Structure 1
Amino acid sequence: MTPRAKEISIGELARRTGLAPSAIRYYEDEGLVHPERTAAGQRRFLRSDIRRLSFVMIAQRLGFALSRIRELLQDLPDRRTPNARDWSRISTEIRGELDQRIAQLERLRDTLDGCIGCGCLSLETCALYNPDDIVGAEGTGPRFVVDTEKRPGRSPGQSNREDPAS
C-alpha cells in the first residue's frame, strides 16, 4: 500500500466511525487526531485514526472527559499505527479507573435505601447510621459513598476516627 493509500478523507473517516465531519474537526481541535493537509488544504487521516476515534467514543461513553482521553492518547504516535502494546497499556490503565468507578457505583447502589451520610438526618434510619450527625464533621456531601475507600471494613455510621475493632 502506498503512503497515500493509507490515508483517508474526513468523509471516509466519518463514514467509517459514524461521526459527523464537524465532530471529527472538533476532536482535531481538541488534539485527539492529527491529520496531515494536502497542498489544497484537505485533511488526510490515517486508517488507524478509525481506531483512535472509536476509542474516543468508547471512552466518552464510559464517562471519561476529553482531557483524560487526551492524556491516555498522548503517548501514542500521531502518524504511526498504534500497536498491540500501545493499546494494552491504555487498556490496563483504564481498567483500574473503571474498577474504581464500578466499586463506587456499587457502594452508591447499596446505600440508596439507607443513610448515605449527607448529614440531613431526615430518614429514621439516618439516626441509626449517623447518630448525632458524626459524619457531618467529616465534610460535605454523601460521605458514606464518597469516603468508603478511606474506610476499609467500616460500616455506615462508623467514623474514620473510630477503631473498627471497638
Structure 2
Amino acid sequence: MTYNKKVEKIYSQLLGEALTKQLAKTHILQNQFGFQDANGKDISISATTVGEILKGRRNMTSRSALAFQETLQYQTPKALFLQDDSFKIELLSQLILIILADSIFNNTLFKKSLIQKIDKCTKKGIQDFVKKHKDVLIDSLSNFFPDFPEEESSYKIAEKLTIWLFDFACLIEKF
C-alpha cells in the first residue's frame, strides 16, 4: 500500500467519525442529505452513499460534499473537510502513529526524525508530542488548505495531505 492509500484510509475513517458525531448532535438522518443545484433543483444523496462515507469506505465526491456542506451547514469546504482543531489533532496523531508503526515508512528520514523527537513512541507519547506542538502543527495544516480548496473530494484532500507530509517533515526537524 502506498503512502497516499495509508493517508486516505486514516483520513476517510476520521472524517466519517467526525461527521457521524455531527449527525448525532443535529439529529439529521442519513436519508436527509441534499442540496440545491444552480437551477434551484433539489438534489438528494442516497442514504447508502451517506452511510458508506460515514463508515470511511467511500469517497466523498464533490456532489456528496455539497450535500454534506449544505445539510450540516458548514460555511466552507475547508470547514467540512478539516473540521475543527480536535479533528486536526486526532489526524496528526494518527498520521504520526502510522508513520512510526507501518513498514512502508521504514528507513525513511521522516520516521527516524520522529523517533528522535518523540520522547516515547507510544500512543500517549505521540499525543503529548502533538499537544506540545499543536499550535504550529495546526497552523501549518490549516494554512496548507484554502477555504475553498481545488480538491473537491475527500480522496483528493487525502492526496493533498500526503503532499503536506513534506511540510510536516520539515517542521519536525525544527522541533
Provide TM-score, normalisation by structure 1: 0.28
Which is richer in helix? 2
Structure possessing the higher relative contact order (Cα contacts under 8 Å, 6 or more residues apart): 2
